[in-house]
Amino acid sequence: MSKIAVYPGSFDPITFGHLDIAARAAALFDELHIVVVHNPNKTPFFTSEQRVSLIEDSLSEAARFGRSIPPSTKIVIATLDSGLLVDYCRKVGAGALIKGVRNNADLEYELPMARVNRDLANVETVFLPADPGQGFVSSSLVRQVADLGGSVDKYVPAAVVRALKARAKA
């Protein structure tokens, strides 16, 4: 039976930190769904469709820092605009969620969700420690630096740099 995992997030936008986690998760599973989840408490910077397309355009860049998505792993990029994440997991037959952990705050935020998801649907959460080189990068910091005219080339794939520049000009 193939092992399927779901890597959920806002990905607003995807960063090298996310890409690192996605590539490492892809090495552990037969199929990985990278799911752009709508968060009703956040006003998104990019639309769900833009975020999906930025992820599609960025996956190959994991090779830049020595990671790559194994060709044998099937990658699905999807959106979840409503409903529970565990329902999405059930629908696609996924038994695990992937979460990248940068620090204690991330773990404290994620643990209750991991417990609820296991309680609701027996879906396990696999925590992957963020690479020290990427550990301080977050989408919100990237948005802030880009908004104020700073360079984010070190933190996000080229497609995202282009999208941020296009947005700033619009």
Residues that bind ligand PNS (CB under 6 A): 8-10, 37, 39, 84-85, 113, 116-117
Please identify, using beta-carbon distances, which residue of 9 and 157 lies nearer to ligand PNS. 9
115 is catalytic: no
Closest distance of CB 129 from ligand PNS, Å: 16
Active-site residue, 18 included: yes
Q: Where are the beta strands (DSSP E) in 19-166?
A: 31-37, 74-80, 96-101, 124-129
The structure tokens listed for 30 are 């037969």
The closest alpha carbon to 67, from 32, 30, 21, belongs to 21
Query: For residue 58, which of 48, 66, 69 has the smallest C-alpha distance?
Result: 69
Closest distance to ligand PNS from the beta carbon of 160 (Å):
15
- Quick check: is 90 catalytic? no
Q: Provide the minimum distance between the beta carbon of 72 and ligand PNS in the complex, in angstroms, as a whole number.
A: 26
Two tokens at 41?
A: 């408490």
Q: Which of 3, 90, 102, 167 is catalytic?
A: 102
| Minimum distance from residue 9 beta carbon to ligand PNS (Å) | 3
Closest-CA residue to 15 (of 141, 107, 128): 141
**Amino acid identity, residue 79?**
T
Residue (143 or 170) nearer to ligand PNS, CB: 143
The active-site residue, picked from 18, 24, 51, 99, is: 18
Q: Is 74 a catalytic residue?
A: no
Residues with catalytic annotation?
A: 18, 42, 102, 139
